[in-house]
Amino acid sequence: MTSRPLKIGLSACFFHADPTRPIFKNKTLQYMEQSMGNWVMASGALPLMLPRASGSVGVPMLIEEVDGLLLQGGSDVAPRSYGSTPHKPEWLGDHERDLYEIELLNECLRVGKPVLGICRGLQLINVAFGGTLCQDLEAKRPDSQVHRDWAVYEELHHEVVFEPESRLCEFYPGNSGGRVNSIHHQAVEDLAEGLVVEARSEGDGVIEALHRPGESYLYAVQWHPEFIEPGAPDLLSPSPILHSFLSAAELARG
């Protein structure tokens, strides 16, 4: 008998109500980015976008139906979510989405289901455990390298250095680092207690990967592996990170 495919819950990206939008005027949209769905399906798992809980369907019911949670990238984490205020109006972030994702994250930890965070997902995990963020690297750390360039988007690359004995050293045997894409302007400032740094960007030390030790699998990277084509020259393969997460989901499923 063939076992069913793993079901991976994806936290939704939000487009909040906008009266000027040409479609679904003044309605909130929740969506999955296509590359993320394709990345999950490439390994034979089923990506299922998790809507915000409503009515009689609560967060525990949503999480019960999936084998793991993948926190997508997207909008800024709101400074309000870590007890700060935005230094500029455009850095207001999405507090509603933060609360929604933190609920999903906490429920997964409660029931022992694995969580993988991508870009915003890494930042959200840090905030959920009490850490803070740098609202804008260019403004706060002008000595740092460029981590986001809208003109080239995921084609902006830089080197990351693995921490000794990190899981990344296991994912990529024989390597002490590698080259990744970079599409973020926020970053971890104060690392939350209980989280462990896995990698930093070369030169400026910005945190690029982290995990939380313990029985529940909790891992996050700042780059976007779903945007990297398997076999892409000079870039870290996206496969080991996903395979580690899916293996944890299989193990948790029993």
| Catalytic member of 13, 108, 119, 134 | 119
Closest-CA residue to 200 (of 163, 225, 146, 233): 163
Confirm whether 13 is a catalytic residue: no
Phi, psi of 11 (to 5 degrees): -65, 140
Report which residue type is found at 204: D
**Residue 95 is a catalytic residue:** no
- Is the Cα dihedral 127, 193, 185, 40 positive or negative? negative
Dist. CA 188–CA 82, nearest whole Å: 11
- The C-alpha atoms of residue 4 and residue 103 are separated, in whole angstroms, by 27
| Distance between CA atoms of residues 161 and 147, nearest Å | 15
Distance CA 168, CA 246 (A): 16
Choosing from 147, 184, 185, 224, which is the catalytic residue?
Answer: 224
- Bridge partners (DSSP) of residue 69 are 9, 115
Instruction: Identify the bridge partners of residue 158 per DSSP, sorted by sequence position.
Output: 180
185 part of the active site: no
List residues with catalytic annotation.
Answer: 119, 224, 226
